[in-house]
Amino acid sequence: MTNNGHSTAKMCSPLWAMVGQNKCWKCGRIENVVALVTEEFWREIRGEIDPYGSGGFGVLSNITQLPDEILMLLQKLNPLFQKRFSKTVEAEYYANGCSCGALFGDFYLHDEPGHTFFPQSDEEASAIKLYQLPIQGEWPIACSSSNGPGEFIFERGTRCAWI
Ligand SMILES: [Zn+2]
C-alpha cells in the first residue's frame, strides 16, 4: 500500500463514497461509517502538479478541509460524519462516530487489517457499499490518501444507486 502524507491535494470527479459498518468500541452499537474515494487524483506541490503523485485510485482519510457540497453528500450517507477532535492525533478532522458520542478514528477504520475499510476477504469487501457522488468538479481537499485496499474495495464492493 502506498500511503501519502497529509497535504492539500486537488481532487476531481468522479468522486465516490464507501459505506461500511463498525461496532462501537464504547457502547457496542453498530453504526454506518463513510469514507471519500477518488478514482483519479493528483497532488499539487507548491502550486505545481506533482507528476509522481498522479493517477490511480485513492482512499482519503484524516480530512481536515472539505468543501461543504461534498460534506453534505457524505452526511446524507452518514449524518455522524462530522468534524471531530481526536485525542489520539490531537487534531480536528472529519471523522465517523457513534450516536453515543464516541469517535471512530480513521487509523482504526482504514489502517488496521480486517477493520471496515481494510477488508481481508471478498466477503468483507463486498459488504462495503459504493456510491458515486452526484457532483462534478475539482476541489482542493486537505487529507491523507492511500491506494492499497481501495483497489480491492472498488473491485469487490457493492455498487449502489445514489440515495
Ligand atoms: Zn457508541
Q: Evaluate whether residue 86 is within a structural domain.
A: no
CA-based nearest residue to 154, from 32, 43, 35, 8: 35
156 inside domain: yes
Query: Does residue 84 belong to any structural domain of this protein?
Result: no
Residues at Cβ < 5 Å from ligand 1 ion: 24, 26-27, 29, 98, 100, 102
Q: Select from 63, 16, 18, 64 the least CA-distant residue to 40.
A: 16
The CA dihedral of 80, 128, 152, 26, to the nearest 10 degrees, is 50
Q: What is the pLDDT of residue 1?
A: 41
What is the mean predicted confidence (pLDDT) over 75-84?
A: 97
Q: Is residue 61 situated within a structural domain?
A: yes
Residue 159: the pLDDT is: 96
Structural domain for 47, as ranges: 7-20+34-78+109-160
pTM for the model: 0.89
DSSP 51: G
pLDDT of residue 46: 56
Quote the CA–CA distance of 77 and 160 in Å, as a whole number: 12
pLDDT-based confidence at residue 38 (cuts at 50, 70, 90): confident
Q: Over 70: is that where the pLDDT of 49 sits?
A: no
Residue 3 has pLDDT above 90, yes or no: no
Ligand 1 centroid vs 24 CA: distance in angstroms? 5
Q: How many domains does the chain have?
A: 1
Q: Return the number of other C-beta atoms located less than 10 Å from residue 12's C-beta.
A: 14
Q: Which three cell numbers stand for residue 98?
A: 457513534
Rounded to the nearest angstrom, the distance between the alpha carbon of 108 and the centre of ligand 1 is 15
